[in-house]
Amino acid sequence: MYRIGQGIDFHQMVEGREFWLGGIHIPHTKGALGHSDADVLLHAISDALLGALGLGDIGKHFPDTDNSIKGIDSKVILKKCFMLIAERGYGVVNIDSTVLLEKPKIMKYAPQMKEVIAEILMINPDDVSIKATTTETMSFIGREEGIVATANVLLHKLN
> Which pLDDT tens digit goes with each residue over 14-55?
999 999 999 999 999 999 999 999 999 999 999 999 999 999
Q: pLDDT category, 73, cuts 50, 70, 90?
A: very high
> Cα separation of 99 and 62, whole Å?
22
Q: In Å, what is the CA distance from 96 to each residue of 60, 69, 88, 150, 154?
A: 23, 28, 22, 8, 9
Domain count, the chain: 1
SS3 4: strand
Query: Cα–Cα distance between 97 and 57 in angstroms, integer?
Result: 17
**Residue span of the structural domain in which 91 resides:** 2-157
Q: What is the pLDDT of residue 159?
A: 79
Question: For the residues 54-67, what does the mean pLDDT come to?
Answer: 94
User: What pLDDT digit, counting tens, does each position of 99-130 carry?
Assistant: 999 999 999 999 999 999 999 999 999 999 99
> Long-range contacts made by residues 80-87, C-beta under 8 angstroms, separation at least 24?
81/46, 81/49, 81/50, 82/49, 82/120, 82/121, 82/122, 84/49, 84/50, 84/53, 84/55, 85/49, 85/50, 85/52, 85/53, 85/55, 85/155
Q: Cβ(47)–Cβ(58) under 8 Å? A: yes
pLDDT of residue 147: 98
d(CA 43, CA 8): 8
What DSSP string describes 29-43? SEEE-SSS---HHHH
The CATH number of residue 38's host domain is 3.30.1330.50
